[in-house]
Structure 1
Amino acid sequence: MIQNDRQWRRLPEPQRDGAVPDVDLATTLRTLTGGLRRQWKLIAAVTLGMALLALAYVLTATPQYTARAALVVDPRISNSVNGPEAPTLLLSDALVVDSEIKVLGSRDVTWRVAKALGLFDQPPEDGGPSLPRQVLNALQGLLGTTPDATALDETASRVSREEAIRREMMEGFEITRDGGTYVIDVAYTSEDPIFATNAVNALIEQYFKAASDASLSDTRRIHDWLDQRVQVLGQEVKTADAAVADYRQQHDLFPMASGALPSEVELSNTNDRLIALRQDLIEAQTRQDKIKGIVASDSVGALLDGTLGGDVASPALRDFQTRYAGLVSEEHDLVTRWGAGSDMVARNRTDQARLRDVMMQEAAQMVDRLGTQQETIRRQIAATEMQIEELRARANSDAQKSIQLDELEREAQAKRGLYQSMLAELITSAQRETFQRSPARVIAQAVPPDEVASPKATRTMILALFGGLVLGSAIAFLREIMDDRLLRGSDLREGLGLRYLGLLPGVRAAQAVKPSTLLVPQPSDAVRRVLRGLVAELQQRRPESGALVTGIVASRRGEGRAQTAGWLAAELAGHDARVVLISVAPEHARLLAGQPGQVVLPALNAMPDVATIAGRIAAQAKPGRPAVVAMPEGTAADLLVMAQYQALADLIAALRDKVDHIILVLPALAEASEVEIAAGLVDGAILTLRWGEDRGPQLAETLASSRVLRPLLLGGLFTAGSARGFARYNG
């Protein structure tokens, strides 16, 4: 047998280097549109279902009306008692409008609205617990965790009921910000357009009332506190003024026109002069340290960046700074114009280096001058300190008395200033009680709506149709993705690693095949084209001497392997080849009985002379008509028995020299052991698959576990009752 023919070997797998494969957009789009076309019935059904649901909703839904109003928030207005500071705080906060939205939806404001609308006065509805609550109670009863009923008093029950009514009312409100503006839109949706209008206007009215009440409450509380503080501070001011007058009279301290004693004035001036001298000394030391640091760093950058002020730098240094800055600017222009390596740039840089040295020398001289200046200031400080000691000794008693007097006067003045400030705030707060301003104003009152807010019939239907298309397309896409059946010719190559040999429409299972059509292919171009291709392939693979043994195998029984083998044998015989069709499957005995050129084999375990039987079979194999070999009806062949296998092998070996082609119907792949044994009898095999019925992953796993049959497979061949479905996937 020619099982080592290189043409029958499986092609090596392409190397995978981990790179992302190129995506053919056109192919992807064609595949996607093809899948959607194949699933158009599903997409249409989902779209129609969504449209019907939307239509039912539009026809049965209760009309809802939405009343709208608008407010604008002015952050410059505030009810705070700290009027001048409040606008700045509000303007610095980006959440001004969001804060007002929270106030509009707060429990206090909405509770006022519900009360103003009379919702609390309506009799309660005794509808029992809701369905979710009933289910929850039932589950708790089954689990034995039923909570004890807590008895609520009348007040708690009323509060709980009012809170439930308020929450239910708020479900109809929609309070939003209009984009990035200061405008707040207030809307309420209800079955009653008049109630919706009243609800919106009531919310706005109660919002202003709540804001006014809160501001008025704060103002009154602060007014009461200010009134108490003013009375206390007034008494403290009187006491402080009396203490100052008594101290002056007791110590005979009467100030000059300037308000101070002469000794105090002189001592104060001397102290001021001492402080100024010490400050000058510190500044001189600081400047000297800075210039020393610059000289030590040997860098002119600090001389140019403004570290030395104009009052420190000498005129010569300022002139050097100006010239150096000009050279640096000129260098940039020269480099741009002539390049960094030009002579002009080199001369410029030489001038910079020379001027830099001069600037550093000038800085060193400034250090010396500042040192001399510090010595002079120290001598002045020493003289001033001596003068101060003399003044202190002379004006000690006056100073002590004046210090105590100043302390009393400062205390009295501070209390007087605080008293005046509090008195002004008290008067202002009294005025605020008569006028309250709100940070928001109404720009559009709610009016009864004249259009239905929901349901919107046109929009609902459009959304339903669009949603149906999207949902249907998604389901169709998932069906296409999750469908692991072998439907395309490319599935054989990509999923099983087999060549696609074509499609044979009209092939049926052995039970449904008429014996008269077993060896008569359908007269269609598609069948003729596929069979001629197989004949050409087998003729090329036939060895120079002897017959080519080709097996026909299917994934399972009932996929038309007998009829496929019969058509292939008839086509080969039609090309002047001597062909023998052999099937030892018991289910094929009835189908092959009575066929022209039939030879019935005896039991394989009791076969007589093999050469004689081979001669009889070869005599029936004529050009134009194949010989058909089958087991008698009711007789089964077991190839797992070595004697029967060897008998069949000897028969095929005897036929090799007498005919051109031998077509052997192999057991199905589901019979793994039998098909592996029988595969050793053939030179090659053709896998027949029932289109749309075989699963790729299962079949790939079966072939992967095959050691004998898998290397012999020539390719895969689809069989189907009709080519219509195949064309939808391979058009």
Structure 2
Amino acid sequence: MNFSQFLLILKARAKIIIWTFLIIVGTTISISLVLPKNYTATTSLVVNYKGVDPLSGMVMQAQLMPGYMATQVDIITSHAVAVKVVQNLGLTNSPVIKQQFEEASEGSLNIEDWLADLLLKKLDVKPSRESSILEISYTGSDPQFSAAIANAFADAYQEASLRLKVEPSQKAAGYLLTQAKIYREKLEQAQIRLSQYQQENGLTSIAENLDVENAKLNQLANQLIMVQAQALDSSSRQKNANANGDASPDVAASPVIQNLKVALAQATSKLAEAGNRLGTNHPQYQAAQAEVDKLKSQLDIEVSRIGSSVGGSARIYSQNEALLKAALAAQKQKVLDLNRSRDQLIVLQRDVETAQTAYNNVTQRLNQTSIEGKANESDISILNVAIPPDKHSSPKLLLNTILSIFLGGMLGIAFALLSEMMNRKVRSTEDIIELVELPLLAMIESNTSKTKKSGLLPRFAKGY
């Protein structure tokens, strides 16, 4: 079938097309005029998305905004919000609504649930793609009622949003209050352990105590070095005194020894002089000899005494050295004990600081969450309040008419083609060629009327 054949079919079946078109358009216009008019009221809301977790205080990522808006749409269209709208408007008190409910539900449902389901069927919520605006639309037969329902849904949504915001904060506040008590007990226990340890070890200021003990340790070490030097010197002098006798420096430096040596030298000189003048048996010689022996004995006694004195000093220095070594060892042990006490004290102080920090953090979050739990302002703000519309939103006569024109034309053409397929006619030379499957040699123009020509062609096609 070419385009000319298609046009011939449309021309021949024009009545079917026209009648189909008129029926579709007329029916659509009639129905649009007969249907009750519905009015759509819309209220706009601004959602202030903060995204703060009430327990941890962490800010949620901005990428979650689309999901957040979808959640808000689900909240608005929830059954709980619709029931709240019914309760706020007192729709269950209307006798007409009660009668309609009894006729429709037969007592199987709650009237609030039934009304909530009816309201949700005519509710439409649209979030903005590039902003935090929500539009709540309600369609009804009464413009005043539609505006009231739209505004009621906005108010109920604000209440639900505030409740959903406050309840987690209140629950989190209860949890944080319990944690605050636990952390406060931990802090008190850590402080008690620190105080007990300081009292048991007598630690007021561990740094000052450690400085004092280190100073004592250094002083003892210096004294020990001095005493060791003195003891070594005394021991050397003792050995020298014992070994060299009066040649020892300590012995030679003694005034008594020096006087005795002088006296001995004089007595020896007298003894030599007496020996030259007198005999050994002479009383003067014997007296001089006795004086020399006496002086020698005194000199030996004095040398022995000085050696003993030097040895006593050496022993005293050795004893002092031993005492200082013991004191130094004890002081070292005391300093080590103080270091260990300081390390343990630092550990206990860190435990107190850690417990204090944890308690402060929990207390801070508790205060913030408690404030949020007592908040009475929602993050939802009404941008535009719904007002009763002046024009109805449905049925849309112009749009329905345009669609019926398009649909009527398409159905008219479809019915025409279907009718042609059920009763095929020969309407052109192309139809004859397709029918006889022979080439066309010539075409004779006829002056007969259109009615006769249109009647000959089908008979010719049947007779052939």
Q: Which residue of 2 aligns with 1:107?
A: 79
Q: CA deviation at 1:49?
A: 0.8
Residue number among 449, 468, 471 corresponding to 2:408 in the alignment: 468
Distance 1:111-1:502 versus aligned 2 partners, 3 A rule: farther
Q: Choose from 73, 85, 90 the match for 2:58.
A: 85
3-state SS of paired residue (1:72) = strand
Q: Distance in 1 between matches of 2:175 and 2:351?
A: 23
1:96 alignment partner AA? Y
Q: Cα offset for 1:168?
A: 1.2
Equivalent of 1:55, from 19, 26, 29? 29
Give the distance between the partners of 2:55 and 2:149, measured in 1 at CA: 34
CA contact 1:112–1:206 (8 Å) conserved in 2: yes
Deviation at 1:445, TM superposition (A): 0.4
Distance 1:414 1:29 in 2: 91
1:333-388 Cα distance to aligned partner (Å, 9 max, x none): xxxxxxxxxxxxxxxxxxxxxxxxxxxxxxxxxxxxxxxxxxxxxxxxxxxxxxxx
Task: Provide the secondary structure at the position in 2 that maps to 1:123.
Answer: helix
Tell me the equivalent position of 2:391: 451
Q: In structure 2, what is the equivalent of residue 40 of structure 1?
A: 14
1:123 aligns with 2:98: yes
The CA deviation at 1:31 is: 5.3
CA contact (8 A) 1:503 1:527 kept: no
Task: Tell me: CA distance 1:219–1:457, structure 2 relative to 1, closer, same or farther (3 Å).
Answer: same
Compare 206-215 and 448-457 and name the one that shifted more. 448-457
- Asked whether the equivalents of residues 691 and 720 of structure 1 are also in contact (C-alpha less than 8 Å), the reply is no
**For residues 36 and 179 of structure 1, what CA distance do their matches in structure 2 show?**
48
> Compared with structure 1, are the counterparts of its residues 89 and 83 closer, same or farther at alpha carbon in structure 2 (3 Å cutoff)?
farther
Paired residues of 2:86 and 2:92 also in contact (CA < 8 A): yes
Counterpart-to-counterpart distance in 1, 2:412 and 2:189: 91
Q: Which amino acid aligns with 1:69?
A: T
The DSSP-based 3-state class of the residue aligned with 1:189 is strand
Matched residue of 2:461: which SS?
A: strand
Alpha-carbon offset, residue 418 of structure 1:
1.2
What displacement does 1:240 show?
0.6
1 or 2, which has the higher strand percentage? 1
SS of the equivalent of 1:452 reads coil
Q: Which residue of 1 aligns with 2:317?
A: none
Give 1:718's aligned residue: 461
- How many Å separate the matches in 1 of 2:124 and 2:412? 33
Provide the C-alpha distance between the structure 1 equivalents of 2:363 and 2:196, rounded to a whole number of angstroms.
27
Q: Secondary structure at the match of 1:447?
A: coil
Contact conserved, 2:173 with 2:373, CA < 8 A, in 1?
no
Amino acid at match of 1:408: L
Q: What letter matches 1:164 in structure 2?
A: W
Q: Which of 133, 144, 160 pairs up with 1:194?
A: 144
Task: Quote how far apart the aligned CAs of 1:182 are.
Answer: 2.7
The offset of 1:425, in angstroms, is 2.0
For residues 2-401 of structure 1, the aligned pairs below 5 Å read 30=4, 32-75=6-49, 77-78=50-51, 80-81=53-54, 85-86=58-59, 88-121=60-93, 122-125=97-100, 126-127=102-103, 157-159=108-110, 161-251=111-201, 255-256=206-207, 401=341
Please give the alpha-carbon distance, in whole angstroms, between the structure 2 residues aligned to 1:100 and 1:428. 25
Distance 1:40 1:466 in 2: 16
Code of the residue aligned with 2:195 in structure 1: it is A
Contact 1:109 1:207 in 2 (8 A): yes
- Given candidates 350, 364, 367, the residue that maps to 1:427 is 367
Verify the 8 A CA contact 1:503 1:718 in the aligned structure 2: no
Deviation at 1:450, TM superposition (A): 1.5
1:493, distance to aligned residue in structure 2 (A): 5.8
CA separation of 1:171 and 1:457: change in aligned 2, threshold 3 A: same
Q: Of residues 431, 438, 441 in structure 2, which corresponds to 1:499?
A: 438
| RMSD of equivalent CA atoms | 4.1
| Counterpart code for 2:74 | K
Residues 51, 237 of structure 1: alpha-carbon distance in 2 compared, 3 angstrom cutoff: same
- CA distance 1:60–1:527, shift in 2 (3 Å): closer
Kept after mapping to 2: 8 A contact 1:47/1:469: yes
Cα offset for 1:197? 1.1
**What percent of counterpart residues are identical?**
18
Secondary structure of residue in 1 paired with 2:134 = strand
Match of 2:451 in 1: none
Residue aligned with 1:94, SS: helix
Counterpart code for 1:127: E
Q: Which amino acid aligns with 1:415?
A: A
Q: Is the 8 A contact 2:433 2:440 kept in 1?
A: no
The 3-state SS of whatever aligns with 1:187 is strand
Listed one character per residue, the Cα deviations across residues 630-668 of structure 1 (whole Å, up to 9, x for unaligned) are: xxxxxxxxxxxxxxxxxxxxxxxxxxxxxxxxxxxxxxx
| Cα distance, 1:424 vs structure 2 | 1.6
The one-letter amino acid of 2:24's match is: M
Checking the alignment, whether the CA contact within 8 Å between 1:492 and 1:500 is kept in structure 2 is no
Structure 2 counterpart SS, 1:499: coil
Task: Tell me if structure 1 keeps the 8 A contact 2:43–2:136.
Answer: yes
TM-score, scaled to structure 2: 0.60
8 Å CA contact 1:490–1:500 kept in 2: the answer is no
Distance between the aligned counterparts of 1:437 and 1:66, measured in 2? 29
TM-score by length of 1: 0.40
Aligned to 1:415: 355
In structure 2, stretches of 5+ residues that fail to align are: 215-332, 449-455
SS at match of 1:184: strand
One-letter code of the match for 1:42? Answer: I
Q: Is the 8 A contact 1:61 1:455 kept in 2?
A: yes
SS at match of 2:44: strand
Letter in 1 for 2:461: F
CA contact (8 A) 1:71 1:441 kept: yes
Q: For residues 262 and 492 of structure 1, what CA distance do their matches in structure 2 show?
A: 132
**Which amino acid is 1:168 matched to?**
L
Paired residues of 1:46 and 1:471 also in contact (CA < 8 A)? yes
**In structure 2, distance between residues paired with 1:41 and 1:260:** 120
Answer with 1 or 2: which has the greater Rg. Answer: 2
Q: What SS class does the counterpart of residue 85 from structure 1 fall into? A: coil
Tell me if the contact between 1:175 and 1:184 (Cα under 8 Å) persists in the aligned partners.
yes
The one-letter amino acid paired with 1:114 is: V
Q: d(CA) in 2 for partners of 1:503 and 1:50?
A: 45
Deviations 1:32-80 (CA, angstroms, capped at 9, x unpaired):
54544444322222211112212321332112222121112232x3575
For residues 359 and 14 of structure 2, the distance between their equivalents in structure 1, rounded to whole angstroms, comes to: 88
Instruction: Report the CA distance between 1:486 and its aligned residue.
Output: 6.8
Q: Note closer, same or farther for the CA distance 1:119–1:79 as it changes in structure 2 (3 Å cut).
A: farther
> Which is bigger in relative contact order (C-alpha 8 A, separation at least 6)?
2
SS of the residue corresponding to residue 162 of structure 1 reads helix
**Secondary structure, aligned partner of 2:393:** coil
Partner of 1:559: none
Separation of aligned partners in 2, 1:453 and 1:407: 76
Tell me, in whole angstroms, the C-alpha distance in 1 between the residues paired with 2:24 and 2:181: 78
Distance 1:440 1:262 in 2: 69
Supply the AA of the counterpart residue of 1:115.
Q
Where does the alignment leave 5 or more consecutive residues of structure 1 unmatched?
1-26, 131-153, 264-392, 505-523, 529-689, 694-716, 722-731
